[in-house]
């Protein structure tokens, strides 16, 4: 165990035992070092500001962190926004937000605060939005003001909220139950929120590689794959849900015949070879916009009855709710996010082109056999 790990372990042991003390010998035995080493480490930590007390005849004790004082409604409004959000999470209370979205539109909404999550680019409040009647994430730096209410937040599972918001892997849940909320209104709102979330992620991904910055070639390859597969998936789900003929597509005739997944993917990439990154981004965003218009306007009955899962290139799968087909595992939105998540990871098998660009390999896509 190196020194840093030993110091971490020492503090962890003291915190786990708090408010009871531990003797130097007990700490030395747990860490597998000498008592002299423990004393030296404790002296270093104490000089660094760790409030370790020595109790005669009992050992060393680390007092528990004092609980922050409760915030009144007025204090929550005038104090730092993050302090108000943290207090809402601790006390499981509803917090009123003044929130400005990406487009500059400000809304005021009540949120059942469930957790604060630190992401790679920002910190987010995760909670149940009462205006949208569904799970939402709010960038903390876009919350202009926050005010604690006297109302208690419902008991919800943070992991389930994150799963509903991100669906990081398009894989089936542990059981055959739906992931989406029940009821036509809530299912529709949840799906439309997921659509907008994915559209925002696509726009952000394209902006990050604008003007030929690193990652443009990888994103272009993925978007060629996604633009075609999303068109197929969306058309198949719409047809299965309302019984209408799939909308006319510009898919070349060669795509209609049954071919192995690898050959089909090569055809997709060849067909997209002359398309720019901007064109592919626009195509995919327009496809999602059209899907959103259809979802917003289709009959409520479609959201309340199960629909056979139209698996591309195979027989229909199990019946699932429409919201689950669109925004749940193996659906078009989860498929897009699966690839966007993996763009941040090093390619497992890069393909070298004449320009020495590294393309993201899509042959591990979960939709491909």
Burial of 68 (0-12, 13-18, 19+ CB in 10 A): exposed
Spatial CB neighbours of 126, under 8 Å, sequence gap ≥ 6: 114, 115, 116, 117, 135, 136, 137, 158, 161, 162, 165
Burial of 19 (0-12, 13-18, 19+ CB in 10 A): exposed
Reduce the DSSP state of residue 147 to 3 states and report it: strand
CA distance 295 to 194: 12
H or E stretch including 54?
strand 53-55
CA distance 331 to 326: 5
CA distance 155 to 170: 26
Q: What is the pLDDT of residue 346?
A: 46
Q: Is 191 left (phi over 0), alpha (psi -120 to 50) or beta?
A: alpha
Q: What is the pLDDT of residue 268?
A: 75
> Helices (DSSP H) in the chain: which residue ranges?
3-17, 24-31, 35-47, 73-78, 81-91, 158-166, 184-208, 216-242, 261-271, 277-297, 300-304, 322-327, 332-343
Q: With contact defined as beta carbons under 8 Å apart, do 45 and 10 qualify?
A: yes
Which residues of the chain form CATH 1.20.120.450? 184-359
Q: What is the pLDDT of residue 357?
A: 36
Q: With contact defined as beta carbons under 8 Å apart, do 46 and 1 qualify?
A: no
Reading the block at residue 4, the tokens are: 């840093």
Q: With contact defined as beta carbons under 8 Å apart, do 102 and 201 qualify?
A: no
Residue showing tokens 């499981």 = 92
- 3-61 adopts what CATH topology? Arc Repressor Mutant, subunit A (1.10.10)
Region 73-166: CATH code: 2.30.30.520
Spatial CB neighbours of 192, under 8 Å, sequence gap ≥ 6: 292, 295, 296
- 184-359 adopts what CATH topology? 1.20.120
Q: What is the pLDDT of residue 81?
A: 92
* 102 φ/ψ angles, rounded to the nearest 5 degrees: -60, -35
Q: What is the pLDDT of residue 84?
A: 93
Interior/surface letters 259-279, b for 16+ CB within 10 angstroms, e for the rest: eeeeebbebbbebbeebebee
CA distance 13 to 23: 11
Q: Residue 330: CA atoms inside 13 Å, Cβ hemisphere, count?
A: 18
Spatial CB neighbours of 15, under 8 Å, sequence gap ≥ 6: 62
Which residues of the chain form CATH 1.10.10.10? 3-61
pLDDT tens per residue, the chain (369 residues)? 678 888 888 888 988 888 889 999 999 999 889 999 999 999 988 888 888 888 887 888 888 877 777 777 788 888 889 999 999 998 888 999 999 887 778 888 899 998 888 766 678 898 888 887 788 888 898 999 999 988 888 777 766 776 666 534 333 444 443 356 777 888 888 888 889 889 998 998 888 887 667 778 778 888 888 888 888 888 889 888 887 765 554 455 555 556 566 666 777 777 777 788 888 899 999 999 999 999 988 888 898 888 888 866 566 777 888 988 898 877 889 888 888 877 765 444 433 333 333 334 455 566 655
pTM, 2 dp: 0.49
Q: With contact defined as beta carbons under 8 Å apart, do 162 and 258 qualify?
A: no
């Amino acid at each position: 165990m190196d020194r840093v790990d030993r110091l971490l372990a020492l503090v962890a042991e003291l915190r786990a035992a708090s408010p009871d003390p531990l003797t130097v010998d007990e700490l030395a035995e747990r860490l597998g070092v000498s008592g002299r080493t423990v004393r030296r480490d404790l002296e270093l930590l104490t000089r660094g500001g760790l409030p370790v007390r020595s109790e005669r005849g009992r050992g060393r004790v680390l007092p528990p962190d004092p609980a922050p004082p409760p915030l009144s409604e007025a204090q929550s409004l005038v104090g730092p926004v993050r302090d108000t959000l943290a207090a809402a999470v601790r006390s499981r209370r509803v917090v009123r937000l003044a929130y400005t979205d990406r487009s500059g539109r400000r809304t005021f909404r009540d949120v059942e605060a469930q957790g604060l999550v630190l992401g790679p680019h920002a910190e987010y409040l995760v909670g149940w939005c009462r205006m949208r009647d569904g799970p939402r994430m709010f960038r903390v730096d876009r919350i202009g003001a926050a005010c604690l209410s006297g109302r208690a937040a419902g008991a919800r599972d943070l992991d389930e909220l994150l799963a509903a918001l991100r669906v990081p892997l398009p894989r089936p849940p542990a059981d055959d139950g739906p992931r989406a909320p029940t009821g036509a209104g809530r299912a529709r709102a949840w799906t439309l929120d997921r659509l907008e979330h994915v559209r925002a992620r696509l726009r952000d991904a394209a902006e990050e590689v604008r003007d030929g910055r690193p990652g443009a070639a990888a994103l272009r390859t993925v978007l060629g794959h996604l633009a075609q597969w999303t068109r197929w998936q969306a058309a198949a789900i719409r047809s299965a849900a309302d019984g209408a003929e799939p909308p006319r597509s510009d898919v070349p005739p060669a795509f209609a015949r049954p071919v192995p997944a690898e050959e089909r993917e090569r055809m997709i990439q060849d067909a997209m070879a002359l398309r720019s990154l901007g064109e592919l981004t626009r195509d995919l965003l327009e496809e999602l916009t059209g899907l959103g218009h259809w979802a917003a306007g289709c009959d409520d009955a479609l959201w309340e009855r199960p629909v056979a899962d139209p698996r591309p290139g195979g027989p229909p799968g199990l019946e699932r709710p429409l919201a689950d087909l669109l925004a749940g595992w193996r659906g078009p939105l989860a498929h897009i996010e699966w690839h966007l998540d993996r763009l941040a990871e090093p390619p497992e098998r890069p393909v070298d082109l004449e320009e020495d660009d590294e393309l993201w390999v899509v042959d591990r896509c979960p939709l491909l056999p």
